Amino acid sequence: MLIERIGKGAGKIETGNNKTRIEMKYLLTFCLTIIFCEVFAQRQPLIITVKDKQNLEPLPGATITLIPGNLNAIADKEGRARLILPPAADSSISLRAAVSVAGYIADTVFLKGEQKIEVLLASQTGFLEEVAVTGSMRTVKRSASPVPVEVYTSKFFQANPTPSIFDALQNINGVRPQLNCNVCNTGDIHINGLEGPYTMALIDGMPIVSGLSSVYGLSGIPQSLIERVEIVKGPASTLYGSEAVGGLINIITKKPGNAPLLSADVFGTSWAEVNTDLAAKFNAGKNAQSLVGLNYFNYQNPVDNNKDNFTDVTLQNRVSIFNKWNFDRKDSRAFSLAGRYVYEDRWGGEMNWSKKYRGGDEVYGESIYTNRWELFGTYQLPLKEHIMFQFSANGHDQNSVYGVTPYLADQYIGFGQLTWFRTFGKHDLLTGLTYRYIYYDDNTPATADGEHIDLNKPTKTKLPGLFIQDEIALNDRHKILLGMRYDYNSLHGSIFTPRINYKWSSANKNNTLRLSFGNGYRVASVFTEDHAALTGAREVVFINDLKPETSWNGNLNFVKKVVVGNTFIDLDASAFYTYFTNKIIPDYDTDPNKIIYDNLDGYAVSKGVSLNIEAAFQNGLKIQAGATAMDVYNTEEGEKKRQMFSERFTGVWNIGYAFKNIGLAIDYTGNLYGPMRLPLLSDADPRSEYSPWWSIQNIQLTKRIGDKMEVYGGAKNLLNWTPNKGNPFIIARANDPFDKNVQFDAGGQAMATPDNPYGLTFDPSYVYGPNQGIRAFLGLRYNLFR
């Protein structure tokens, strides 16, 4: 525009003769050439390319704004925008470019003389066009996967900061962290109403969290190192073997190359909880990068708001160290190695308990010492074919007492998997060989040597397996996945698990239909999976040798994407049905003094529908909400009975708004649960047989300070809801936890007496939600990328 204005002005110069005009023409041409060269030299175009951080796809329509100033540019269909920078009038001013696009988290980059910059933006809502690996063991776009996979980025979990990934899952539709004990607060993850042992938890695709660690393994993973969490609802045993019956949670950690140079996330609450996440990366030579993380959580403030003389929340002291290495190899072949160590000391019980009472019958307490190590990695063989070797090993040592009952256990698991992937025309073929070895030993009857109960015989399980999967692209819109797996369990013999998945997508890719059908199986380990078998006064009884459980599942999933201007809306609806045989259900009803375990002589069903809605608006508003309606029950001898601790309705929401001009964001998160059936000790037990409708709601404000720091704070459990409301008590006989004053009849049943009017025994298993009321929190988050 500068050249054009000067040219127009020159055209109006009038002189008296042609010679003067010619001289002026040459003079102006010379001046314009000098000016053009100077301007061009000072105003080279800057090319900014904007891409999705996860799948590296270009983001057309992204807005780039120069700061300071008001120069704007819009990215083209390739995600590229060109900016002509003004002359640097003041070298003390740092030029920056603010980059934003609907559905993604805005970013600001410093301009330091580069002519080309690539900006990677993270999804604003959690799973808009993320990549997924869990459904088919291959990295693909979530929309291209024939298996329905939900993907949640680390940003999703920052809307409601928690000290562990176990707590963080509470805002995901159909997923519920279930506390199993009012005293020590251990728990598991329910997916679509199914208990925790039916959910398999992976770290980077490795079966790290299982068996003894299924109760504790999801604590202590530094959230600053989590890239995303992928969730598959329904059986996945065809690829992942036993335990993947009800669903799968895969925690994907960050690659060192994608992580900040240094990061810290520290927050505390008004209950005196302190959580610290620290992470740093460094290079070791030219071909190795390392990421180190530390998580520390401390809570040492006994609280008894419900006045039962028991701690409302378990006291904890936990430290976890994580280290991951990536190695650059020829032809970009993969090689990564990671390790984690966790130590935790937790206790709950009577308010005056201390370690001197550990294991005695003077003051009741539940104390658990956990030492755990993990090692896992991936190595791509130096061959032309795509052959991967994945491996993991972990050891878990638990030293615990529940009142006067000691539970001492050791578990070691080794796992190796060799996979080969190749494309043959329309076929993507994946085959694999697996081997898993499990060593387990404890001081319970589970490892007694037959009738010689005083002799110990550790359990050693060998589990070789073979699987094959063929993903067939019939055309651009239709895809079929066929898979089957064969395992041989050294204790239970041969196990075969098939599956089939079908995917259809519309021509514009805005509509996707998925249909899946498959089989799952699980081998139970009661004492490692069900905390109720250890706590309280109930006796654990096994009627028969437990057989592996089997499930058949059908799932229908439909995804609709709607784009209105700069507003993006995702609708994700599913219907599911799972049929179980040989299901192992703890029987609390037959005898109030016992928990009876046996395979169900009948069948069990989990069925329901769910809907997720996700919307991102250009003005900074984002909404993510979901609801699931389900019916989980078992039928035996013609009698239908609703499953314990299973709600028929659950809803979640995550609503956020960003005030971009002042760097402030607000997040309102919450969940809502319908009634669930709870275990009572007798007909005279005054506690409610069903829980009420209940909800946990939270609010958070986040203020961005510069480009590296955020300060956040807010309130958790705004409604101050706790499960004791509406009940005379939660823990039965909290005043007599060793049953010293309980009188029993000839049949071993507790009798009603003036001191025990309901005829109860000590029982802390009546639990369905967290017993922690409203609290404030304040935190600081720091990320240094350069």
pLDDT at position 700: 97
Tell me the per-residue pLDDT of 161-209, one tens digit each, with 9 for 90 and over.
998 888 888 899 999 988 888 898 888 888 888 877 778 888 888 877 7
Is residue 421 predicted with pLDDT exceeding 70?
yes
Q: Which amino acid type is present at position 779?
A: G
CA distance 373 to 394: 5
Tell me the per-residue pLDDT of 90-149, one tens digit each, with 9 for 90 and over.
444 456 778 877 667 777 777 766 677 888 887 654 444 555 666 666 666 777 888 888
Tell me the per-residue pLDDT of 294-334, one tens digit each, with 9 for 90 and over.
999 999 999 999 999 999 999 999 999 999 999 988 888 88
Over residues 423-447, mean pLDDT? 89
pLDDT at position 451: 64
- What pTM was computed for the model? 0.80
Are 291 and 298 a contacting pair, CB within 8 Å?
A: no
pLDDT at position 7: 37
Q: Which amino acid type is present at position 131?
A: V
**Phi, psi (rounded to 5 degrees) for 662:** -120, 5
Q: Which amino acid type is present at position 457?
A: K
- Of the listed ranges 23-37, 232-246, 647-661, the least confidently predicted one is 23-37
Those residues with Cβ within 8 angstroms of residue 508's Cβ, 6 or more apart along the chain or in another chain: none
Sign of CA dihedral 752, 754, 758, 762: negative
Closest alpha carbon to 350 in 734, 619, 707, 22: 734
What's the pLDDT band for 155 if we cut at 50, 70, 90? confident
| The two structure tokens encoding residue 722 | 């706790």
Question: Percent of the chain, pLDDT > 70?
Answer: 82
Those residues with Cβ within 8 angstroms of residue 345's Cβ, 6 or more apart along the chain or in another chain: 316, 317, 318, 367, 368, 369, 370
Is residue 241 predicted with pLDDT exceeding 80?
no
Are 579 and 551 a contacting pair, CB within 8 Å?
A: yes
Sign of CA dihedral 70, 94, 56, 626: negative
Looking at per-residue pLDDT, the higher value among 259 and 31 belongs to 259
CA distance 70 to 91: 19
What's the pLDDT band for 68 if we cut at 50, 70, 90? low
- Of the listed ranges 276-280, 411-415, 594-598, 758-762, the least confidently predicted one is 594-598
pLDDT at position 61: 73
70: left (phi over 0), alpha (psi -120 to 50) or beta: alpha
Are 438 and 213 a contacting pair, CB within 8 Å?
A: no
Tell me the per-residue pLDDT of 657-694, one tens digit each, with 9 for 90 and over.
988 788 899 999 999 999 999 989 888 999 999 999 99
Q: How would you classify the pairing of strands 131-132 and 206-209?
A: unpaired
pLDDT at position 285: 87
Is residue 345 predicted with pLDDT exceeding 80?
yes
CA distance 686 to 726: 11
- Of the listed ranges 331-335, 365-369, 501-505, the least confidently predicted one is 331-335
CA distance 537 to 526: 17
| The two structure tokens encoding residue 409 | 């256990």
Vertex 38: Cα angle to 48 and 89 (nearest 5):
70
pLDDT at position 242: 64
Is residue 15 predicted with pLDDT exceeding 50?
no
Average pLDDT along the chain = 83
- Of the listed ranges 54-63, 654-663, 704-713, the least confidently predicted one is 54-63
Question: Percent of the chain, pLDDT > 90?
Answer: 44
486: left (phi over 0), alpha (psi -120 to 50) or beta: beta
| The two structure tokens encoding residue 371 | 């030492």
pLDDT at position 55: 64
Looking at per-residue pLDDT, the higher value among 126 and 391 belongs to 391
Torsion of CA 389, 392, 393, 398, to 10 degrees: -170
* Distance (Å) of CA 609 to CA 174, 194, 503, 557, 579: 10, 14, 19, 10, 15
pLDDT at position 25: 52
- Of the listed ranges 192-196, 386-390, 583-587, the least confidently predicted one is 583-587
Cβ burial of 587 (10 Å; 0-12, 13-18, 19+) is middle
pLDDT at position 103: 61
What's the pLDDT band for 530 if we cut at 50, 70, 90? low
Over residues 389-400, mean pLDDT? 93
pLDDT at position 5: 34
* Distance (Å) of CA 147 to CA 144, 432, 479, 513, 578: 9, 19, 11, 10, 16
Angle subtended by helix axes 18-42 and 2-10, to nearest 10: 170
**Phi, psi (rounded to 5 degrees) for 527:** -70, -25
What's the pLDDT band for 6 if we cut at 50, 70, 90? very low
Is residue 785 predicted with pLDDT exceeding 60?
yes
Over residues 592-603, mean pLDDT? 75
Q: Mapping DSSP to helix (H, G, I), strand (E, B) and coil, where does residue 693 land? A: coil
Residue 674 burial (CB count, 10 A): 18
Closest alpha carbon to 254 in 200, 303, 285, 290: 290
Tell me the DSSP string of 196-235. Answer: GGGEEEEETTEEEE-GGGGTTTTSS--GGGEEEEEEEES-
pLDDT at position 31: 47
What's the pLDDT band for 535 if we cut at 50, 70, 90? low
Is residue 427 predicted with pLDDT exceeding 90?
yes
Residue 327 burial (CB count, 10 A): 17
Closest alpha carbon to 78 in 44, 111, 112, 118: 118
pLDDT at position 13: 36
What's the pLDDT band for 647 if we cut at 50, 70, 90? very high
Those residues with Cβ within 8 angstroms of residue 437's Cβ, 6 or more apart along the chain or in another chain: 413, 414, 415, 460, 461, 462, 463
pLDDT at position 214: 63
Is residue 550 predicted with pLDDT exceeding 90?
no
Are 626 and 658 a contacting pair, CB within 8 Å?
A: no
Those residues with Cβ within 8 angstroms of residue 54's Cβ, 6 or more apart along the chain or in another chain: 122, 123, 129, 130, 131, 153, 228
Q: Mapping DSSP to helix (H, G, I), strand (E, B) and coil, where does residue 48 land? A: strand
CA distance 109 to 50: 12
pLDDT at position 224: 74
- Of the listed ranges 70-74, 323-327, 377-381, the least confidently predicted one is 70-74
**Phi, psi (rounded to 5 degrees) for 31:** -65, -40
pLDDT at position 248: 85
Q: Which residues share a beta bridge with 652?
A: 626, 671
Closest alpha carbon to 338 in 325, 319, 328, 327: 325
pLDDT at position 474: 93
